[in-house]
Amino acid sequence: MDTAITILLDGLVFSSYLFIVSVGLTIIFGVMKILNVTHGSFYAWGAYTAAFLIGVAANAGWPDWAGFGIIFFSAIVVGLVLGLILERGILQFMYHRDEVLIVLATFGTFLVLEDVILLVFGVNPYFAFQPMALLGSVQLGGIARDTYGLTLIGLAVVVAAACWLTLKRTRWGKLLSAVIYDREVSVAMGLNVTRVYIVTFTLGAMFGALGGAYIAPTVSVAPGFGIDVIVLSFAVVVIGGMGSVPGAMIGALAVGLVRALAVHKFPQFELFVIYAVMATVLVFRPEGLFAPVKVRKI
Amino acid sequence: MRQLRKLAIPVLVAAALVPALPAQAADTVKMSVVAFLSGPAAGPFGVPSRNGAEVIIAAINDGKLPAPYNTKGLAGRTIEAEYLDENGGNTKQVAEYRNMVEKRGVDVALGYISSGTCAALTPVAEELKKLTVFAVCGTPRIFEDAKPQYVFRTMSHATSDNVAAALYVKEHFPKITSYTAINQNYAWGQDSWRDFDATMSLITKAKPSEKLQWPKIFQGQYATEISALLLDKAELIHTSLWDGDLESFVFQGDTRGLFKKKKVIFTVAETSVYRLGKRMPDGLIVGARGPYGAIVRDNPSELNKWFIDAYKDRFGQYPSGPAYQYAQAVLAVKVAYDAAAQKAGGFPTQDQVIAALRGATFESFATTVKMNLGGGHQATTENGYGITKWDPKAGELKLEKVKFYPADCVNPPEGENSVEWIKGGMKGAKC
- When CB atoms are compared, the residue of A123, A129, A219 closest to B38 is A123
Assess B37–A contact: CB distance below 8 Å, yes or no: yes
Please indicate whether, in this complex, the C-beta atoms of B244 and A125 are within 8 angstroms of each other: yes
Please indicate whether, in this complex, the C-beta atoms of B251 and A129 are within 8 angstroms of each other: yes
Q: Which of residues 102 through 161 in chain A touch B, CB cutoff 8 A?
A: 118, 123-125, 127, 129, 132-133, 136-137, 142-146, 148-149
- Which chain A positions have a beta carbon within 8 Å of B213's beta carbon? 263, 267, 270
Task: Tell me the pLDDT band of B77, cut-offs 50, 70 and 90.
Answer: very high
Q: How far is CA B189 from the centre of its chain?
A: 16
Q: What is the pLDDT of residues A248-296, one digit of tens each?
A: 999 999 999 999 999 999 988 888 888 899 999 999 988 888 876 666 6
Q: How far is B392 from chain A (nearest CA, A)?
A: 20
What is the rounded distance in angstroms from the CA atom of residue B48 to the CA atom of residue B324? 9
Q: What is the pLDDT of residues A219-235, one digit of tens each?
A: 989 888 888 888 889 99
pLDDT at position A295, please? 61
Assess B219–A contact: CB distance below 8 Å, yes or no: yes
**C-beta contacts of B100-104 below 8 A and 24+ residues apart:** B100/B32, B101/B128, B101/B130, B102/B128, B104/B30, B104/B32
Mean of the per-residue pLDDT values of chain B: 92
Nearest chain B alpha carbon to A232: B219
Decide the pairing of beta strands A143-146 and A137-140. antiparallel
Rg for chain B, CA atoms, rounded: 23
Task: Give the start-end residues of each E strand in B2-66.
Answer: 28-35
Task: Tell me the pLDDT band of B24, cut-offs 50, 70 and 90.
Answer: very low
Q: What is the pLDDT of residues B377-425, one digit of tens each?
A: 999 999 999 999 999 999 999 999 999 999 999 999 998 999 999 999 9
pLDDT at position A292, please? 67
What is the rounded distance in angstroms from the CA atom of residue B334 to the CA atom of residue B60? 8
Q: What is the pLDDT of residues A55-87, one digit of tens each?
A: 999 999 999 999 999 999 999 999 999 999 999
Please say if the pLDDT value at position B9 is more than 60: no
Please say if the pLDDT value at position B163 is more than 70: yes
Q: Which of residues 174 through 193 in chain A touch B, CB cutoff 8 A?
A: none
What is the rounded distance in angstroms from the CA atom of residue B256 to the CA atom of residue A10? 13
Q: What is the pLDDT of residues B173-182, one digit of tens each?
A: 999 999 999 9
Q: How far is B50 from chain A (nearest CA, A)?
A: 13
pLDDT at position B360, please? 97
**CA distances, A141 to each of A26, A138, B259, B262, B391 (Å):** 34, 10, 18, 18, 35
Please say if the pLDDT value at position A124 is more than 90: no
Please say if the pLDDT value at position B222 is more than 50: yes
